[in-house]
Amino acid sequence: MASFDEMREAGDIETIWQNGEFVDWDEATTHVLTHGLHYGTGVFEGARAYDTENGTAVFRWEEHLDRFYASGKPYEMEVPFSRDELTEATLELLRRQDLQSAYIRPIAFFGYNSLGVSPEGCPTDVAIAAWPWGAYLGEDALKNGIDVMVSSWRKHSSSQIPTNAKTTGLYVNSLLAGEEARRNGYAEAIVLNKEGQVAEGPGENIFLVRDGEIYTPGLSQSILDGITRDTVITLAREEGYTVHDQATISRGELHTADELFFTGSAAEVTPIRQVDNVQIADGNRGPITEDLQSAFFDLVERKTDAHDDWFTYI
């Protein structure tokens, strides 16, 4: 992905919606003593808009909003804008920047007022940005897959921190796992939960294929309930596959899988070809992965009429 400065120079990004107003990209700032900056007290989403045969559309925006508002609940954070206001702000943001396809980042965080651990008295600031973003793990990865490692860092338990809230501060766990993988020559990491079972990737859910059936860790395994995860489960069942969506997967099962792949709003559907230098099957994208990848991209590009209610059009 190009840097934001490069995108600015190219004229691809111009404005951000912040607390009810559209502001110049360079003026979307916050105070250095903002509560969320010091304590990670923010929630966010990552959604995509696709250039479809029916025009630009945000994929599963309503579900992203559901999770956005729900993520704030454990922190008693109330987003001071309605769903309609956030939706119109997002669509207008895409229009103003003439973005046919984009990655969309809504964020809410406790703002500037005081700096005790308690956010009492701090406002909830909200912003939405959108920018062009291709394949998160690279265009080649979508076809040929990626090499990953099992991280030495474990995913925290839901009894410690809410795992189903998309909280800004929690992504230091993802950062540690992902950077460890990249330092060791891998594209991404797989994170185990505290019991040593497979949880997810730093920013992705994981799926395993064995004997023609599909397995993915359940919510009890300390995963984020991914929206792309739900999409792929739905598409797989519609294609006639058996999907075990509350599976417990051991580390050893990764190496003996017929196929593995990641899903996520950023990663979309990305095959995994090696884990810890152990080749998965023949090292190529598997047939079920390819089938589901095709179904996913046919859907989001609106080459099929299915699930039109999953799209919010400009």
Kindly list the catalytic residues: 166
- How far apart CA 90 and CA 228 sit, in angstroms, is 20
65 Rama sector, left if φ>0, alpha if ψ -120 to 50, beta otherwise? alpha
103 close to 48: Cβ distance less than 8 angstroms? yes
Structure tokens at 149: 């490692």
Upper half-sphere CA count for residue 240 (Cβ side, 13 Å): 2
Structure tokens at 213: 């059936």
130 close to 106: Cβ distance less than 8 angstroms? no
Phi and psi of 60, rounded to 5°?
Answer: 55, 45
Q: What share of the chain is helix, strand, coil (3-state, %, to 5)?
A: 30, 30, 40
The C-alpha torsion from 61 through 85 and 123 to 132, rounded to 10°, is: 50
Structure tokens at 146: 């990626």
